[in-house]
A and B are shown apart, each in its own frame.
Chain A
Amino acid sequence: MKLMLRALSGACVLAALAFPAAADTKLTIATVNNGDMIRMQRLADDFTSKNPDISLEWVTLEENVLRQKVTTDIATKGGQFDVLTIGTYEVPIWAKKGWLVPLDNLGAAYDVDDLLPAIRSGLSLDGTLYAAPFYGESSMVMYRKDLFEKAGLTMPDAPSWDFIAEAARKITDPSGGVYGICLRGKAGWGENMAFLTATANSFGARWFDENWKPQFDQPEWKNTLAFYTQLMKDAGPPGASSNGFNENLALFNSGRCGMWIDATVAASFVTNPKESKVADKVGFALAPDNGLGKRGNWLWAWSLAVPAGSQKTDAAQKFIAWATGKDYLKLVAEKEGWANVPPGTRTSLYENPDYQKAAPFAKMTLDSINSADPTKPTVKPVPYVGVQFVAIPEFQGLGTQVGQLFSAALSGDTTVDQALQSAQAIATREMTKAGYIK
């Protein structure tokens, strides 16, 4: 054993010697494996050539694994990372705990005021920015123009849920393998509950009242869930109760869906002829509403932050300023075209005529993001922040449990009433345990 270890450490030393002399500061960056982040990794030479004293090491993981690792590390002060990629869910919680370094050293050229207000407010606590948005997304309706034409329908820019339901039922043609609407159904707080919570907002529902009392016993939730399950029964594809983003993307791209309501980031996938059969037939519209003043779209921004306790705060902020700054957008445009620029963070991008020309979905994305307000997400007042989530530490677990119940309502294993009753019971239980309900 000892010999083995000695041999191994010998090998390590050799390996270390074989590499060229390391730069002064090494930043370990934890990031998700989305297309835009991978592009950043590819373009990072630009940063290191401008900052020869900083070297970068990447840890690229899928979102759920990344969240587990980063949370475990920051909470136990493991200190393995210098820059974290986190979402709008984590930022307010972690900032409140004092786990993040305030980003006050991004440099004069950074232009914080250029950030989209909705995104910026989601990443700030008491007016201080704790994470810089790398790209932002909302959700919207993607639909097949050809199928709508054939059915004699016209999609308005801002449809209502009633119109969506009617259109979905009209388009559905199971024998031809076409389903009117594809929506998320797989259980999980970031899966079906992201969609359902955002949808519930437009139906006037809310997770909790001002005293943190769960609201699943209210008629608004019943309307939401009954509408969703009935629509999916009439016009959804088989297997909907285990479909997530990827499954629906595959269905839509192979021409099986008349409509799909999901993340705006999907726009670039469904319009890419290399990935989609229907690339030239896709139209976009805002997420639907019910005339209550809230639309059923969400808001998310993958953002870069520095963990408190990092010894390399200055270098880390330098990197963040590079990755989320205006020059990075130009760099991507130069190297890979405007359509591939990370969307949804800066006002100036949407005023850029080159971008407007290259990205047909630009306006819809901007309107969607602007119409979501994480600080006032619902029709009735709520004590929490977050559109498609509730920014409290307990939400991931609770959201997943409720998501399981709602996916059972979709698959027909329980009724809508039973699902809501159980959801109310579980939410009350968890909130009592966590001490919100005294």
Chain B
Amino acid sequence: MATRQTRILAHAATAPSTLVLFLWMIVPLAMTIYFSLLRYSLLDPGNESFIGLVNYEYFLSDPAFFAALFNTLKLVGGVLLISVVGGILLALLLDQPCWGRGIVRLMVIAPFFVMPTVSALIWKNLLMHPVQGLFAWIANLLGLQPIDWFAQAPLTAITLIVAWQWLPFATLILLTAIQSLDEEQKEAAEMDGTPPLSFFFYIVLPHLARPITVVILIETIFLLNVFAEILVTTGGGPGNLTTNIPFLVYAQALLQFDVGGASAGGIIAVILANIVAIFLVRMIGRNLEA
């Protein structure tokens, strides 16, 4: 039971972070809400005028809006699935004794070090290109028709690239968590001859519940904002197949330089992100307690 004194201490300890984050959130948010109600083009400064909710109307009625919404969800879902499942498997593997474990770990973490634009360019041009990419060459060696990634399955291709970048994040967090699992517990299970599968499902997985939740929540926040990879590989095409919400906002902000429209898009994106977050917390949030 926390005493009065510790509670005061706890408040004092969280206050600085809360305060700076509050400022960092509220000032841009207030400005963005204000701008979203204006007709405000960066290319036409000085002529701002109040237009109410028109910017929201245009953003929501954009023919690409619903496609973008679903693409965003598909991208987030796909990457989460690959990185969490892959991350658990990798963490289990890397926890095993093996020679050169340090180097292997570094190799697995390394994709996280590469800047998103660079890894997207490398994947698109050196690996996935249907004529001169390495994958096409391998397919030809095997006598198969090379996949035209960015025409046949553009969103899948982008999901793969992004998942490759985020797999290390999940792996590293889960690996650290597995390592904190009691050595004794592991040894005891081995002594008892507990079958590995039930050891995994009854001991390891419950132990990983909280870290997995954290991985999902943090990755979701980042994945909702993916757009550099899309810009350099497909430019949102073909059609709307790879357009997501951040890409729409990008088009408003940095192609049209329509600050009003971009602000409205930003606010809508925040609302959608909140809905997704509430949903996630409902599903897995209880893992955060205890």
Which of A's residues lie within 8 Å of B, judged by CB? 64, 68, 71-72, 75-76, 93, 97, 177, 186-189, 191, 237-242, 246-247, 250-251, 254, 256, 393-394, 396-397, 400-401, 403-405, 407-408, 410-414, 422, 425-426, 429, 433
Contact = CB atoms under 8 A, between A and B. Distances in A.
Nearest to A426: B63
A97 B45 CA distance: 9
Interface in B102-146: 124-125, 129-132, 146
Contact of A404 (B43, B58, B238, B254): B238
A393 B257 contact: yes
Contacts of B237: 186-187, 241-242, 403-405, 407-408, 411
What does DSSP make chain A's interface, helix, strand, loop or mixed? helix
B160 interface: no
Contacts of A413: 238-239, 241
Contact of B131 (A72, A186, A189, A251): A251
B150 interface: yes
B146 to A, nearest CB: 7
B246 interface: no
B229 interface: no
Top 4 closest pairs, chain A to chain B, by CB: A408-B239, A187-B237, A397-B256, A242-B150
Given A404-B237, A408-B238, A238 B256 contact: no
Nearest to A186: B235
Given A75-B257, A241-B151, A246-B125, A256 B238 contact: no
Interface string B43-84: 111000000000000100001100000000000000000000
Given A241-B150, A247-B125, A393-B44, A186 B239 contact: no
Contact of B236 (A64, A97, A187, A396): A187
A186 B243 CA distance: 13
A184 to B, nearest CB: 11
B244 interface: no
A177 B243 CA distance: 32
B251 interface: yes
Contact of A239 (B43, B130, B231, B258): B130
B255 interface: yes
A400 B252 CA distance: 11
Contact of A237 (B125, B131, B254): B131
Given A396-B257, A397-B255, 11 more contacts: A75-B43, A186-B235, A186-B237, A239-B131, A241-B150, A251-B131, A256-B131, A393-B44, A401-B64, A411-B238, A429-B63
